[in-house]
Amino acid sequence: MSTSDITADELKQIQIKKKEYDDALKNGRPDMQDKARQYHDAVINAILSGDLPITEGCGANPDPAGEHTKEGGWGGDTASANTWDAVAMKDDPNQWKVVDSAGKNIAHKFESQAEAEAYIKYYQCIQEKGDIDNVPAPKPEPKPPQEQEIKTGVTPYPVVGQPMASTQRGPTTRHYASGAPDDQTIEKNCKGIKFDNYQWVVYVTMNSIEHDDNISLKLGGQHMGKKGWYDMGVSFDGSKICGGVEPKHPSTKLCVVQSKEKIGSILNKKIGVAGVYFKKENRVELWLDFPAGSGWKKYIDGVSIGGLKPDPSDNEAQLRIDGFEDLPTIHEAFVTEIAAAKS
């Protein structure tokens, strides 16, 4: 049976599903994986109906355990192996990775260029022969935060009531109005915070990066609000622990206040970062638990930093991380009400 035996209706459905998937992938939409599955199912249905052939001859899968892919993937074009290339990894030039035509990762951590190229050739063969079921796909994403049990553990301030879960946006590609190079970015967001006093607590492990940047916590106001919010964070190399402001999106003033202390590189180490806000005092704090489990320590404490006076109504909180190569591991991200400041 040849591919010419496929019906016009089946071909139309496959083309529609591919277009929907390509659009979701290009724009970093959260339904990208659903569209990929629908595209995949349309092709498989044609195969099972006998209209497309299944052929052998591509050899053994070079990555049967998925050791070279990452949970959630990087948003690379997994359906076009003929556009992939093998390049050295930026954070470890002794290792190699496979990227698509846009430079987005498909697979990583190969011991040699030859291994990366063998991976490419295998999937080029698979795709040429129509075995779509074997196309590498991102590993399943974890359950949405609202479906997970929130384990608050030890926090800078005692927890009052039930914690609020966050929702995730990304990973996506961020385009900067300044003309700076595009970045991979991921966010955790918590909206509708009505507490007078609250803490925004996250635990993160930074994996390999494209360039130095920050684990950034935004709180004490609203994202697109006219009066802005606070932007606090710690750099990947641990040299800057700062309190700043974003008076009007997207303009920011980072490091309006800065801790004199440095903590060293946080790469490949779990770190706790917490922003604390007291509405009436318009007071904001930044706490770190690093290394994770060693205990929380306050590094930033300021009132009306940068002259900012946020909207006192419902607040929002955001964790934002840019500049990574491998997706950061976000262990926890939640907001809790707190009673009062520590003495």
Q: Where are the domains of the chain?
A: 3-134, 145-337
The fold of 145-337 is Jelly Rolls (2.60.120)
Query: What is the reported pLDDT for 207?
Result: 93
- Residue 302's φ and ψ, nearest 5 degrees, are -150, 155
Q: What's the mean pLDDT in 209-230? A: 92
What is the structure's pLDDT at 39?
65
Q: In terms of DSSP bridges, do strands 167-174 and 214-219 run parallel, antiparallel, or are they unpaired? A: unpaired
How far is residue 10's CA from residue 257's CA, in Å, rounded to a whole number?
61
Residue 191's H or E segment, with its range, is strand 183-193
Average pLDDT of 80-85? 90
Q: How far apart, in Å, are the Cα atoms of 132 and each of 41, 155, 169, 318, 323?
A: 9, 47, 28, 38, 32
DSSP 24: H
Q: Provide the pLDDT for residue 268.
A: 94
Q: Does residue 240 surpass a pLDDT of 90?
A: yes
Report, as an integer, the average pLDDT of 16-26. Answer: 71
pLDDT at 273: 98
User: Taking 60 as the threshold, does the pLDDT of residue 5 lie above it?
Assistant: no
pLDDT value of residue 295: 95
Q: Are strands 183-193 and 315-322 parallel, antiparallel or unpaired?
A: antiparallel
Q: Which of 51-60, 226-235, 311-320, 331-340 has the lowest mean pLDDT?
A: 51-60
Average confidence score pLDDT of the chain: 82
pLDDT tens profile 101-148: 988 899 998 888 988 998 998 888 888 776 544 455 444 444 444 444
pLDDT classification of 60: cutoffs 50, 70, 90: confident
What's residue 48's pLDDT?
54
Per the document, the length of the chain is 343
Higher-scoring residue by pLDDT: 62, 30: 62
Beta strands in 194-309 (DSSP E): 197-205, 214-219, 229-235, 241-248, 251-258, 270-278, 283-289, 297-303
End-to-end Cα distance, the chain: 78
More confident residue, 248 or 25: 248
CB 68 within 8 A of CB 110: yes
* Helix, strand, or coil (residue 340): coil
Neighbour tally for 176: CB within 10 Å: 11
User: What one-character-per-residue DSSP string does 37-84 give?
Assistant: HHHHHHHHHHHHTTSS-----S-S-S-TT-TTS-BT--S--TT-GGG-
Q: Please check the confidence at residue 216 and state whether its pLDDT lies above 60.
A: yes
